[in-house]
Structures are given as C-alpha cells and as structure tokens.
Amino acid sequence: MPISLLREFIVLSKNLNFSITAQQLYITQSVLSKHIALLEKKIGLTLLIRNHHGVELTAIGKLFLVEATAIVNRYDEGMKKVKMAVYGIKMELKIGYLYAQSRDILAASIRLFKKHYPYIELKLISCEYGKLAQKLKNNDLDLIMTVDFDKDILSWCDTCKLYEDILCAAVDINNPLAKLENVTIHELNSERILMPSNDNFNGYATFVNEMFNSEKLSQDRKIRYKCINSSLLMVEAGYGIAIVPRKLKANASEKVCFIPLKGGQYSFDVIAAWRKSNNNPAIKKFIQILSQVKYDFSCNERIKSF
C-alpha cells in the first residue's frame, strides 16, 4: 500500500473536508476521492461517512487514523535514519576523557548527540590525564576532554573551552585547614604534599611544581603520586595533602575536604581538543553539541548563584 494514501487519509481526517484537503495536497477533489475509495477497498473497511455537510470518521476510521499516523511516523523516522546512514556510513567518533572533569557535561552531550546523529557510533574511553594527549597524537582518539595544562597542544590541536576549574588542597576532614574557605601555598609549608608524578602527569606536574618552587618546600615533604584517585585515598588515611582539581571532589570520600588555593593563578580551563589534521566530520558535530550543552550548564550555574 502506497504510504501516500495514508498521508492523504490523515490530512482528510483532520480537515473533514474533501475540498480543503485537496487544495492542501495540490490534487483535485475527484482524485482525492478516488484515492480514499481505493484505500477503503484495499483494507476492506469503511473509514468515512460522506454527507452533504462534509465527512465523518467511522468508529473503525478513528482507530485506523491512530494506526495510520503511527505507521507514517515510523516510516518517516526510518527513512531519516537510512538517509543519514548513507551520508555517514561507518562514521564513528572516539572520545577520550577525564571522568571527574567530563562526567556531567559529557553525559548530557551524548544524550543530545545521539538524538540528532543516531547513525554516528560513539566510542568512549576514560583515561588518566597523562595518557590522553598521547592517545590523541597516535590517532587512537579523535577528541579528548582534558585539563589545559599542556600548552604545546595548541601547536597541533584545535580546542574548545568547556568551563573553568581551580586547584584545591584536598585535606583530611580532621586537619585544621579543613575549616578554611581557601588556603595559600605558604600555609601548606608544614604539611606533606602529595604532588603529581612528572612522568605520569607532564604539564599538570610542571604547573604544580612551579607553584611550590618559590616556597622552597623540602624534598622530603614532596610525595609523588602516579594515580590521582589513590592520592585521595592517601589523604583520607592522613598521609598528607593532595593538590588536585576541585572537580575531583566527585571521586572523594566525605572525609576529604577540598580547599581552593587562594589566587587566580590556580584556575585553569577544562577543554575539548582534537587534531588539526583530523577531518572526521563527526568532530565538528560533537563540538557543536558540546557548545550548546556547556551554555546550558553555565546558565544553570548562574541561576544557582542567585
């Protein structure tokens, strides 16, 4: 049965007038009448009652309208997916991300992205900070969501700022510093400091090292961690204070307090980055979705601040 017959029946059912419906469909009234008669013949049911005043749906006609509408909607959705699949056949987007920094905005972006581009397959890989840029450089990933500490990434990547975060001193809840609203580097001098490993955290480690260089912190008070989540466990165990991004609070126990470091120099951006040489069209589509979602998130944050 031609789908066009169902479309004509649906329009006629809304108008209940052959003349108006024929005009909307750009066909003659006699052609429309023949098409509806053909539809009734094919299904062997009377769908309409015709009289001098117009048209009425029979009880069966009302039921058929519901089913016809569902059939046409499924057909249109299916054709849309087929057409998009032809355009984007085998298209995929491999995204690497930092879990704590990306979780909220990434989940919302994926939900919206799949609604608009159901034919593009997303592959998600949660990584440690130090591995993301290398995987991107090796073409193992198309796009990463990371913290903006490696400035050399700008030489071979395009980036999109998602939001701003700040470094914090993660302290055990029983530490006197836990009562402070913010803390200076100088106030941490008497503490053992858990700092990122130079080998595992590259630009992030460099950033933290420079923070403490001016304070001349003794080497025996510097403890290097290779796993950022393990550093939070060490803090909870009373082993020291960890310098970590505020967003990592989502991974920490309630027994760990996050005290922002005092000073604008400790703020940094969370970004999306992708190779300038990567021509995957799915990247641009995902960045557009990310930009929309980050705008919604920023609006919500401003509302909460009032």
pLDDT in tens, 6-21: 999 999 999 999 999 9
Query: The pTM is what?
Result: 0.66
State the sign of the Cα–Cα–Cα–Cα dihedral 204, 206, 207, 211.
positive
pLDDT greater than 60 at residue 70:
yes
pLDDT at 34: 94
> Which residues, 6+ apart, have CB-to-CB distance to 16 below 8 Å?
54, 55, 56, 57
Give me the mean pLDDT over the 126-139 stretch.
90
What is the location of CATH 3.40.190.10 in the chain? 94-158+272-305, 164-267
pLDDT greater than 80 at residue 169:
yes
- pLDDT higher for 104 or 218? 104
Name the most confidently modeled range: 81-85, 200-204, 278-282: 278-282
What class has domain 3-87? mainly alpha
CATH code for 94-158+272-305? 3.40.190.10
What class has domain 164-267? alpha beta
- Per-residue confidence band for 119, with pLDDT thresholds at 50, 70 and 90: confident
Give me the mean pLDDT over the 210-237 stretch.
82
Conformation bin of residue 240: beta by default, left when phi > 0, alpha when psi is -120 to 50: left
What is the location of CATH 1.10.10.10 in the chain? 3-87
Are 132 and 121 in contact by the 8 Å Cβ rule? The answer is no
Are 158 and 142 in contact by the 8 Å Cβ rule? The answer is no
pLDDT greater than 60 at residue 263:
yes
